[in-house]
Each structure stands twice: as C-alpha cells, then as structure tokens.
Structure 1
Amino acid sequence: MTSARALTALGALGVVAGGLVAAVTGPMDWTKGSWAAAYLVLVVGVAQYVMGRFRAVDDGDDRAGWVQLAGWNLGSALVIGGTLVTTPLLVDGGSVLLVVALVLALRARVARVPSAAALAYRALLLVLAISIPVGMVLSHLRS
C-alpha cells in the first residue's frame, strides 16, 4: 500500500467517524461533540482524503507521504484529545505535527494536475495553515 492510498482511506474513515460522532452527540448530550464531529469530517476526513489524492500524483519518495500521514493523524489525535480534556499543550503539540504534515503536503509534486486543481489544493492547505494558530489561540483562551 502506498502512503497516498492510506491517506485517502483514512480520510474516508474520518468522514464516517465524524458522522458517527455527530449521530451520538445529541442523545449523549456531549457539549464538544459538534466540534469533534466537524473536526473529524473536515480535517481528519476531507482534508486528508484530498491530500491523499494529490499525493497519488507525486512520483517522488514515498517516505515523505508516510511522514505526512503519521503527522496528520497523530497531530489530529492530539488536537482532539487536548480539546476534549481541556489541555492546550496537547493541542499545541498536535498543531506542530499538523504544520509538519502541511509542509510535506505542500512539497508534493503536483505537476501533472490541472492548474486550477493545483491552485484549489494549495488554497485548501492555506486555509488549514491559517486555522492551526487560530485553533491554538482558542484552545488557550478556553482553558
């Protein structure tokens, strides 16, 4: 299995997990459930799926893809866990891993992708990069 396939598969699983979390949020009266569901769907799911699709056209070294996958998923787990237990330092540590993964995602060679798609991909990465420090600040303000 390639890192691109693993990123794509884990992204799809993230969307499903987010849907499941959303389904139990109301009945369990989980106050942070809506946030967790959105994070799972949008960051762990959709963003990772897209990164996997773009990593698939990168014919370079697959080790960077595996580091990207590890950083994105471990970082996301730390952000989610740190948010749920109100521990901003966990969120900060996870955020650092997310930044490393984003840098690797940006470095993926997407020369064979139409320019509009490559531009949209880079815009997604920019939105994610901007959201990381915002999330860190909110984590500290809420604790």
Structure 2
Amino acid sequence: MSAHDTRVLPGGPFLIVGGAGIVAGGLVAAVTGPLQLEHGSWAAAYLVLVGGVAQIALGASQGALAARSPSTAVLATELAAWNLGSALVIGGTLVRNPVIVDIGGAALVLALGVMAHTVRGGTGPRLSRWTYRGALAVLLAGIPIGLVLAHLRAP
C-alpha cells in the first residue's frame, strides 16, 4: 500500500476499536472493587472478551478469509452493529432493563450475520474458514443465553 492509498485495511478498524475495548475493560476492572460496582467484573470481562478480543479476531480474520475485501459500508455496518449492540447489552444490564439488552443482542446477531456473509465463498485454508465459522456460531449461541439471563435477573 502506498502512502497515498486511502483504502482501509479490513482488520484495522476492528483492531483500533477492539483495542479500546480491552483498555476500557481493564479500567473498569481497576475501579470495580473500590467503587463496589455490582456488575463491574462482568462488564470488564464483557468489554475485554466481546468488545475487544472477539471483535479483533473476527474483524482481522474476515479480511484474510473473504473472497474480496469487504467494502467500507460493510465494515461500518459490522463495527456499528457490534459496538452499539455491546454498549446496549452492557447498559441494559447495568440498569436492569432486559428490553435494552434484547435490542443489543439483535444488533450483535446482525453483526454476526454480516460477518458470516462477508466470508461466504471465501478463500484461505479450509481449517481457518471453519474455525472462523465456529467462532461465529459460539458467539451466536451465547446471545440467547445472555438474553435469558438478563430477563431472569430483571426486577
């Protein structure tokens, strides 16, 4: 890529936003004890694992596995859906409003669907493609579990 090339590396935005999620998770973990935040350790883990690690892994991998580089619109949709969904899940959990958590879960499902579609017919080693699809499936399976827990914990 030349210095004048304005293309976005497919994994770049995910690395930046996911890295911020990991840092935010660390900060939340640091203040959880002193501030006695009821859901602090859960929020820290969610930020690190879902907002950070999963986002970086999925975003970076799809660029290598897709048949062609995802468009800027596709990347923006994935980033917006993933991060808005995560923010709604965390916010809804903290205020004990399962409807907000449900909306966040729907946004996460949208992001996973777009990610799955982006690598459809992709290239790369078969094991890598199956591993990517497996990660998508595990995350997708976790969403309804989280939604049920949010409803069970609601006042």
Give your verdict on TM over 0.5.
yes
Class of the TM-score when normalised by the shorter of the 2 chains? over 0.9
1:17 positional shift: 1.1
What is the aligned counterpart of 1:37 among 17, 38, 44?
44
Letter aligned with residue 88 of structure 1 = P
Give the Cα–Cα distance (whole angstroms) in 2 for the partners of residues 84 and 113 of structure 1. Answer: 41
1:61 positional shift: 2.8
Give the Cα–Cα distance (whole angstroms) in 2 for the partners of residues 118 and 15 of structure 1. Answer: 25
Would you say the 8 A contact 1:55–1:65 is kept in 2?
Answer: no
Would you say the 8 A contact 1:65–1:104 is kept in 2?
Answer: no
1:14-56 per-position Cα deviation (integer Å, ceiling 9, x unaligned):
1111111111111211110010011001111011001220232
Which residue of 1 is the match for residue 82 of structure 2? Answer: 72
Q: What SS does the corresponding residue of 1:130 show, helix, strand or coil?
A: helix
Q: What SS does the corresponding residue of 2:124 show, helix, strand or coil?
A: coil
Which residue of 1 is the match for residue 129 of structure 2? Answer: 118
Would you say the 8 A contact 1:69–1:101 is kept in 2?
Answer: yes
Normalised by the size of structure 1, how large is the TM-score?
0.92
Which residue of 1 is the match for residue 11 of structure 2? Answer: 4
Q: Within the alignment, does 1:103 sit opposite 2:110 as a pair?
A: no
Would you say the 8 A contact 1:79–1:92 is kept in 2?
Answer: yes
Give the Cα–Cα distance (whole angstroms) in 1 for the partners of residues 60 and 119 of structure 2. Answer: 12
Give the Cα–Cα distance (whole angstroms) in 2 for the partners of residues 121 and 94 of structure 1. Answer: 22
1:109 positional shift: 2.4
Would you say the 8 A contact 1:18–1:40 is kept in 2?
Answer: yes
1:46-86 per-position Cα deviation (integer Å, ceiling 9, x unaligned):
11001220232332433112101100000111000000000
Regions of 4+ moved over 3 Å: none
What is the aligned counterpart of 1:61 among 39, 46, 71?
71
Q: What SS does the corresponding residue of 1:56 show, helix, strand or coil?
A: helix
Which residue of 1 is the match for residue 53 of structure 2? Answer: 46
Normalised by the size of structure 2, how large is the TM-score?
0.85
* Unaligned segments of structure 1, at least 5 residues: none
What is the aligned residue count?
Answer: 143
Larger Rg: 2
Q: What SS does the corresponding residue of 2:119 show, helix, strand or coil?
A: coil
CA RMSD of aligned residues (A): 1.5
Q: What SS does the corresponding residue of 1:113 show, helix, strand or coil?
A: coil
> When you count helix as a share of all residues, which structure comes out higher?
1
